[in-house]
């Protein structure tokens, strides 16, 4: 499945799914939830990041500019 977007300030990955982004995601503020055995690989440029990982999930995060976590 492919997802196209213009603006994105949050991402939820769950139920064993796997998400990766080819390009960089840019946002002033970004909320990320990865849960229930899912995986997520993204490159992110953001001033603020809120992350919630749980239930055997895996996150690979490449950063460009993160000021507060």
Residue 68 pLDDT greater than 70, yes or no: no
Q: What is the pLDDT of residue 44?
A: 86
17-34 tens-digit pLDDT: 998 888 888 888 989 899
Domain ranges of the chain: 10-65
* 46-61: b (≥16 Cβ within 10 Å) or e: beebeeeeeeebebee
Q: What is the pLDDT of residue 67?
A: 43
Q: What is the pLDDT of residue 38?
A: 93
């Amino acid at each position: 499945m492919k997802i196209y977007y213009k603006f994105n300030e949050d991402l939820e990955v769950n139920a064993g799914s796997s998400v990766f982004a080819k390009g960089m995601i840019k946002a002033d503020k970004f909320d990320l939830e990865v849960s229930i055995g899912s995986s997520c690989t993204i490159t992110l440029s953001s001033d603020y990041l809120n992350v919630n990982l749980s239930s055997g999930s895996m996150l690979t995060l490449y950063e460009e500019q993160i000021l507060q976590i």
